[in-house]
A and B are shown apart, each in its own frame.
Chain A
Amino acid sequence: MLSIKEYQTVTSISGPLMMVEMVDAAKYGHIVDIELGDGSIRHGQILQVENDKVLVQVFEGTSGIDVEKSTVRFLAKPLELAVSPEILGRVFNGLGQPKDDGPAIIPTKRLDINGQPINPYARNYPNEFIQTGISTIDGLNPLVRGQKLPIFSGAGLPHDQITAQLARQASVLGHGEQFAVVFAAMGITFEAAQFFINDLHETGAIERSVMFVNLANDPAIERIATPRFALTCAEYLAFEQDMHVLVILNDMTNYCEALREISAARKEVPGRRGYPGYLYTDLATIYERSGRIKGKDGSITMVPVLTMPEDDKTHPVPDLTGYITEGQIILSRSLHRKAVSPPVDVLPSLSRLKDKGIGEGKTREDHADLYNQLYAGYARGKEAQELATIMGEAALSAEDKKYMTFANEFETRYISQGYYENRSVEDTLNLGWELLSMFDDSELKRIDVDLIKKYMPRFRNKN
């Protein structure tokens, strides 16, 4: 019954948008193919229908499209991704079409890329610790399966190295569990994408990965669909193939800019910095697709990367992201300058789900108290560092000096570990105790006395 209808009634084109008139029975959100005069095909999606007038956003951009010769085909379906277990190891473009030399996917299923929200009642609370081998994450901001934890970065900061390290090291398997990486590149450079792909090749993880690549020179509007393809693929792998999927979305700032372009072309009332008022809701439909579901073995853990313009955390993209995601890992330019790698800014970074994923039986009983103490100590040390820059080190009290030494040690030994060291959580915890051993027991107010007796190196050696 679903006949495909063709129209040659394009009436206007402006920016990425195209108006088609005298259309019968178009549906909101469905997709169209546009055949240009020269026979080439472009893709679009219906943004608005009013009587017989249809507003279409063209993913590949409208340059070269003319009003007279173009033919628009209404495909009467939403954007879909063809999935099958063979999807692993493949590379697609930003619109979900194969980009490698492999054959077309023979689909077992076609899935609407917009998905449907997970019923909150069906969710399983994320509480399984993932060892990433990075101390600042495992020790201080633990990541759990089903969490969405973005990396707030800036131009010139090494977020690519960190995501590669995460993908490489977090793939430690449990018994009989399967792991997959889904990588969505949105407007990043060829070099950045290739770095990541090469890294996966080297570790052999490429066979367990699916890539959706929209590079900086690919059509910008296409980026709106890219993360949705990636997440549809992730949902299929996680909830139908029982895999633990790590999704990396790089870079969400480019995605938001594409969204802004569409909004501006539609002449919508802009919100802050020209971004549309519905940016929060739109981002939520992406980020909230991570999680675990009761009765299913798989999970989707998401690490979106975004670059903050001028390192400004209050910019709408990081700001709204932070309101949706469960914490954030913030990179610090000053640590990067000090050659601390990975340069994770510990104090403003946060993992909201940490408390449920750690402790006895998961990591170790002293974990929570330990990171509280390390935080408190480092925060105080940072203050002393600042004080020293104002008044000079000589003016500091003996106690402040001690905290400052602690902060310095903490940065060079705990935070800094390089991109290829894979620390076990045990090592990370012990390192924390070692650093705290410069304080008296009475100064470690955030740690239970019994735990100090049990784990502090000076007592351990006696036992």
Chain B
Amino acid sequence: MSETRQGRVVKVAGPVVTADGMTGARMYDVVRVGKLNLIGEIVELHGDLASIQVYEETVGIGPGEPVIDTEAPLSVELGPGLIESIYDGIQRPLDLLVEAEGEFMSRGSAMPGLNRKKRWLFKPTIENGAEVSVGDIVGEVKEGPLLVHKIMVPVGVQGKVENLNEGEYTVIETIGVVKAADGSEIKLKLMQTWPVRNSRAVINRLAPNQLLITGQRVIDTFFPIAKGGTACVPGPFGTGKTVVQHQLAKWVDADVVVYVGCGERGNEMTDVLTEFPELKDPRSGEPLMKRSVLIANTSNMPVAAREASVYTGITIAEYFRDMGYVVALMADSTSRWAEAMREISTRLEEMPAEEGYPAYLGARIAAFYERAGRVNCCGKPKREGALSIIGAVSPPGGDLSDSVVQATLHVVKVFWSLMAKLAQQRHFPAIDWLTSYSFYKEYLANCFEDKDQADKMVALTIESMGLLEQESQLLEIVRLVGAEALSPTDRMALETSRSLREDYLHQNAFHKVDTYTSMEKQYELLGMIMYLHKQSLAAIAKGVSIEDIFKLPVREEIARAKYIPQEEIAKVVKIRETIDEQIGKCKS
């Protein structure tokens, strides 16, 4: 090993430290700062001066202290052991830190991201002597009950695989060697590393073609997100951004979920940590924790590590995508990430653009969301992976003209707009149906095996959205002249849209049945509400008075239908018969 480059601190201003004697250092190299060995990253170079963003609190650091260049960019460790982990923004395992250093975060601790002692049973899936190159799967490790962790050939390795044996290994032991054409040998391990700021290579990218089912009615039915798609959830505080993110992390039909708590509340991460091991995945029946990786860099943890946390998260997510899995990444909140960028930029005395944010804000946000997508993964066997990103945005005062919201809207394909007004009415999820949008609606039909059902569902969504649109206009009139002045059909439209809002769009995240609704049940519930609407209109045309329709006892059954468990879905279907029966009894 060559002599390590060592510089000297000359300036400390908050999280940014400047060091001299750094000739030859590269941008984004990781350095250790001061006697406390704080972790930092070079973000600017001027001659032999390097500006360093430090991932830990810098109190007590002063000029003259040493700065050591590790000559490697900020990287994460990828391998068995990621699942069920909780990391800080630079992949230090928080659970192990508690054991080692206590309940409060101390400084300068270096702990590897992957457990070095745990042994994993590795099973090769290729024969010795086979030619391998980057991305090829050489074997598998079963990680928990849900996930088969595929061991892939790292970048830059090519040749003939030898000595690959089944057995129990730690992540740093050699599982086999690859002999290159020039005779050199490279050892294969269960673990590989990857610099977080670079996206992992793929063969090519594909357009999304399938929805990521979330079990949230307003999302799946009206504003769906695709596997490999991007979505953003902006909204003022108290509108339920985090609950939406948590709900998605719980119920999406992804193989792996990476949840990045970026600059948010500590208790929210605790909530995830206490809930996920107990909640069962509706498909596998296993605890949700068995498919989750958590990154927690809460708001009071160092700001520079917050900046890194989304990159750490996305790199881990890409790694699982490369195995051919469907991965979903939730980042809560990207505004805090942008603020971290702003703080670092201010300390570097860069020229600010809008609201003090650096001029490269838009580019960084776009580059981050572009790491999502459905792809053909590198290597053999041929496989497809998908990575979806769902980012929360917290605009100041809920003002959507905020730079971060605008930069995000430029790149994402789904927009779930959270409204303070809906939240105040306790209508959750407070996703506004009039302003939200999704570019993935066309794939809704692919969710149903039955072609006929698929067509009907698409028609239902168009019809019901039409009613909700009509409602917003009718309410204007009602405000002026009162509901009595409307025609019976208009009053029926108002009543049905109220039912759509209260009985369909409104969904209780804390109710054990209502928290998740299958696509099948969504179809039945929506169909039922629209069926009542259609039958009522027909009855009104025959002269039945609208008051009689409003008094139908079946309405209460409809209101409570969403609480009928999935197993008893036949009960939902039966409500249509009750509708027929009761309308039939109305006198015209």
Binding site for B on A (CB under 8 A): 25-30, 47-52, 78, 112, 114-126, 146-147, 239, 268-272, 277-278, 280-281, 284-285, 287-289, 291, 293-296, 313-316, 319-320, 322-324, 326-328, 347-348, 350, 352-353, 355-356, 368, 372, 375-376, 379, 387, 390-391, 395, 397, 442, 445
Contact = CB atoms under 8 A, between A and B. Distances in A.
Nearest to A373: B426
Contacts of B420: 348
Nearest to A359: B510
A126 B343 CA distance: 31
A33 B265 CA distance: 36
B47 interface: no
A400 B106 CA distance: 59
A365 to B, nearest CB: 14
Given A25-B62, A28-B60, A117 B105 contact: yes
Given A51-B11, A294-B103, A269 B356 contact: yes
Nearest to B297: A120
B64 A119 contact: no
Q: Determine which residue in B13, B95, B106 has the highest number of CB atoms from chain A within 10 A of its CB, and name it.
A: B13
22 contacts: A25-B62, A28-B14, A52-B63, A116-B57, A116-B106, A119-B98, A120-B86, A120-B261, A121-B94, A123-B270, A146-B267, A270-B356, A271-B356, A272-B396, A278-B14, A281-B263, A284-B299, A295-B103, A313-B397, A319-B397, A327-B238, A350-B423
Pairs of residues from A and B, 5 with the lowest C-beta to C-beta distance, nearest first: A314-B397, A29-B59, A284-B299, A288-B300, A27-B62
A198 to B, nearest CB: 34
Contacts of A27: 12, 59-62
Given A120-B270, A319-B397, A28 B62 contact: yes
Contacts of A376: 425-426
Contacts of B61: 27-28
A288 B265 contact: yes
Interface string B420-438: 1001111000000000000
B502 A397 contact: no
Given A29-B58, A324-B299, A119 B346 contact: no
A123 B263 CA distance: 16
Given A122-B98, A280-B336, A281-B303, A326 B267 contact: yes
B63 A316 contact: no
B237 interface: yes
A48 B62 CA distance: 9
Interface string B377-388: 000000000000
B303 A121 contact: no
A48 B271 CA distance: 38
Given A49-B62, A121-B296, 18 more contacts: A25-B64, A50-B12, A51-B10, A52-B63, A116-B57, A116-B107, A119-B98, A120-B273, A121-B94, A271-B356, A278-B303, A278-B339, A280-B299, A280-B339, A281-B300, A314-B236, A319-B236, A348-B238
B355 interface: yes
Interface in B17-75: 18, 57-64
A125 B60 contact: no
B334 interface: no
B58 A271 contact: no
Nearest to A50: B11
Contact of B266 (A123, A320, A352, A356): A123
B97 interface: yes
Given A288-B300, A445-B559, A125 B271 contact: yes
B3 interface: no
A50 B16 CA distance: 12
B94 A120 contact: yes
Contacts of B98: 119, 121-122
Given A29-B60, A324-B299, A375-B426, A120 B266 contact: yes
Interface residues of B, number: 72
A356 to B, nearest CB: 8
B417 interface: no
Nearest to B302: A117
B356 A288 contact: no
Nearest to B342: A277
Interface of B: 10-14, 18, 57-64, 86, 94-95, 97-98, 102-107, 236-238, 261, 263, 265-267, 269-271, 273-274, 296, 298-301, 303, 336, 339-340, 342-343, 346, 352, 355-356, 394, 396-399, 420, 423-426, 479, 482-484, 502, 510, 556, 559-560
A50 B86 CA distance: 37
Contacts of A51: 10-11, 63
A322 B63 contact: no
Max chain B Cβ within 10 angstroms of own Cβ: one of A116, A123, A327, A372: A123
A323 B426 CA distance: 18
B238 A379 contact: no
Nearest to A284: B299
A30 B425 CA distance: 49
B103 A391 contact: no
Contacts of A119: 94, 97-98, 102-105
Nearest to A376: B426
B226 to A, nearest CB: 29
A316 B402 CA distance: 13
Contact of A122 (B10, B103, B352, B396): B103
A277 to B, nearest CB: 5
A51 B19 CA distance: 10
A450 to B, nearest CB: 12
Looking at A27, A114, A287, A356, the one whose CB has the most chain B CB atoms below 10 A away is A27
A28 B300 contact: no
B339 A281 contact: yes
Contacts of B94: 119-121
Nearest to B62: A27
Contact of A277 (B11, B298, B343): B343
Contacts of B394: 323
A268 B14 CA distance: 13
Contacts of B62: 25-28, 49
Contacts of A442: 556
Contacts of A29: 58-60
A314 B395 CA distance: 10
A274 to B, nearest CB: 11
Contacts of B267: 123, 125-126, 146-147, 291, 326, 353
A379 to B, nearest CB: 5
B424 A348 contact: yes
A47 B426 CA distance: 45
A364 B59 CA distance: 48
A125 B298 CA distance: 15
Given A114-B57, A277-B342, A285 B273 contact: no
Residue with the highest number of chain A CB atoms closer than 10 Å, among B86, B270, B273? B270
A116 B105 contact: yes
A120 to B, nearest CB: 4
Q: Which of A122, A315, A322, A326 has most B Cβ within 10 Å?
A: A122
Contacts of B270: 120, 123-125
A301 B107 CA distance: 26
Instruction: From B10, B106, B300, B339, name the one whose CB has the most chain A CB atoms within 10 angstroms.
Output: B300
Contacts of B14: 28, 48, 278
B96 to A, nearest CB: 9
A323 B10 contact: no
B31 to A, nearest CB: 17
Contact of A390 (B11, B13, B356, B479): B479
A191 to B, nearest CB: 32
Nearest to B58: A28
Contacts of A294: 103
Contacts of B12: 27-28, 48-50
- Chain B CB count within 10 A is highest, among A115, A315, A352, for A352
A296 B103 CA distance: 10
A353 B340 CA distance: 27
Contacts of A124: 270
A322 B424 contact: no
B482 A121 contact: no
